[in-house]
Amino acid sequence: MKKPVIYAALTVGAFLTLFPYLLVVLTSFKDRGELFSTRPWLPAVPPSTDSFHRLADSGFLTYVGHTALMTAVLTVGQLVFTTFAAYAFARMEFRGRDLLFWCYLATMMVPNVVTMIPLFLIMRQLHMVNTWFGLLAPYILGTPYGIFLMRQFFRTIPTDLEDAARIDGAGPLTILWRVLLPLSRPALGTLAIITTVQSWNNFLWPLIISSSDDNKVATVAIATLRQSIGGDYNLMMAGSLVTLLPMVVIFLSFQRFIVRSVVLTGLK
């Protein structure tokens, strides 16, 4: 194929990829009248911050704060617990190890919605509906997917260094912290980004478990915007912009790393 044709195709694709982002920005800076009077793809002159004021008045920023807190806690929790479990699976000998690992892998096929009903029933039994505990507990101890990813990575690291450390009298904790983790930055980074994206975007479980103002998250809040005020697209786009922006910032900061390393997750 000729290069100009390829570039033309790639540019059309790039435009389609970015257009929704462009539209969010354009629409959220329009006021109610301009939403219908101007073409969607033209900017408002002068830009209006009316939607953002209304958004702030509706308490939306609190919910974004909740999302940020949830994301931080889950990412830290998953990194810690996943690392411990993956280390045990990759490097330690114990009865039932392989059987247990296959059990972990099998649970990856359980659809989300299958566990939602019983999880809700469990949380209701424990009186944990509408609490931070209920919101965080199912994810904080690590996921089989993350453990699989880390275990595969640990197994690619030669054992010589650990053997040397063990001869020097290092225990498993020291070996994990001083020897393995410094060598595992790419895998840890991948896991951190995947967990951050998943937690930030998570919707179904928060929708089911938390509806009070104390622990409602951004995704649940913007879904409510859609239902309560029919066609107020200015407000919805402003909310979407605030929700989408942090992920775009993360992408821009770690862009090289993400492109290289998401591929790690599937093919190792």
Partner 1 sequence: MKSRRGLTAYAFLLPSLLGVFAFLLLPVAIVAGVSLFHWELLDSPHFTGLANYRRLVHDGDVRHSLWVTVLYVLLTIPVQTVLAVVLALLLNQRMRGVKFFRALYVVPWMATPIAMGLVWSWIFDPANGALNRFLAVFGVDGPAWLNDTSFALPAVAAVQIWQYTGYNMLFFLAGLQGIPAELYDAAATDGASPLRQFVHITLPLLNPTMFFVLVTNVIGSFQVFDTLYVMTGGGPAGSTEVLNFRIFQTAFQQFDFGYASAMAMLLFALILLITLLQVRYFNRRTTYDIS
Determine which residue in the list 2, 99, 111, 158 makes contact with partner 1, applying CB under 8 A. 111
Shortest distance in whole angstroms from residue 160 CB to partner 1: 19
- Does 229 bind partner 1 (CB under 8 A)? Our answer is no
Binding range to partner 1, per CB under 8 A, among 47-55, 56-64, 113-121, 183-191 = 113-121
Distance (Å, whole) CA 28 – CA 43 = 10
- Does 73 bind partner 1 (CB under 8 A)? Our answer is no
Q: Which of residues 173-212 bind partner 1 (CB under 8 A)?
A: 197, 200-201, 203-204, 207-208
Shortest distance in whole angstroms from residue 103 CB to partner 1: 8
- Does 259 bind partner 1 (CB under 8 A)? Our answer is yes
Contacts of residue 257, Cβ cutoff 8 Å, sequence gap at least 6: 186, 189, 193
If the CB atoms of residues 72 and 259 are measured against partner 1, the closer one turns out to be 259
- Does 90 bind partner 1 (CB under 8 A)? Our answer is no
Q: What's the angle, vertex CA 129, arms to CA 212 and CA 220, rounded to 5?
A: 45
- Does 133 bind partner 1 (CB under 8 A)? Our answer is no
b/e burial code for range 224-241 (CB count within 10 A of at least 16 → b): bbeeeeeebbbbbbbbbb
Q: Which of residues 30-59 bind partner 1 (CB under 8 A)?
A: 35-36, 39-41
Q: Look up residue 156 and give its DSSP letter.
A: T
Tell me whether residue 94 is exposed, middle or buried, using C-beta atoms within 10 angstroms of its C-beta: 0 to 12, 13 to 18, 19 or more: exposed
Calculate the alpha carbon distances from 185 to 146, 178, 192, 249 in Å. Answer: 14, 12, 10, 21
- Does 110 bind partner 1 (CB under 8 A)? Our answer is yes
- Does 154 bind partner 1 (CB under 8 A)? Our answer is no
